[in-house]
């Protein structure tokens, strides 16, 4: 695997999922979905880099993305709503 000279071991993440086994760079920008895929009033569940995320539109029209796991109950945030 060729990694740019600016990468360090903390930037590497091993992913093993249905797409296969690979090493990816983390702490960078990745495309989670297209803007028109985000539903109105509820989060969208997306999978990238072997992890689950919830993406939603904020009150001012921006986009937010967090881990899809509720730290309190372990549920999927993408199954909830946006107020």
pLDDT computed for residue 65 by the predictor: 92
Stretch 7-25: mean pLDDT: 71
Asked if 56 contacts 63 with a C-beta cutoff of 8 angstroms, the reply is: yes
Kindly give the pairing relationship between strand 44-48 and strand 63-67.
unpaired
Structure-model confidence comparison of residues 39 and 28, the more confident one: 39
Start-to-end CA distance of the chain, whole Å, equals 44
**pLDDT of 32 over the 50 cut:** yes
The pTM of this model reads: 0.70
Comparing 19 with 57, the larger pLDDT belongs to 57
48-74, pLDDT tens digit by residue? 877 899 999 999 999 999 999 998 988
């Amino acid at each position: 695997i060729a990694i740019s000279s600016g990468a360090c071991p903390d930037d590497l993440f091993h992913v093993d999922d249905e797409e296969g086994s690979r090493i990816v760079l983390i702490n960078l920008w990745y495309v989670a979905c297209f803007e028109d895929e985000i539903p109105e009033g509820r989060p969208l569940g997306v999978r990238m880099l072997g992890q689950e995320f919830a993406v939603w539109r904020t009150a001012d029209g921006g986009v937010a993305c967090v881990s899809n796991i509720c730290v309190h109950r372990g549920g999927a945030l993408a199954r909830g709503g946006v107020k």
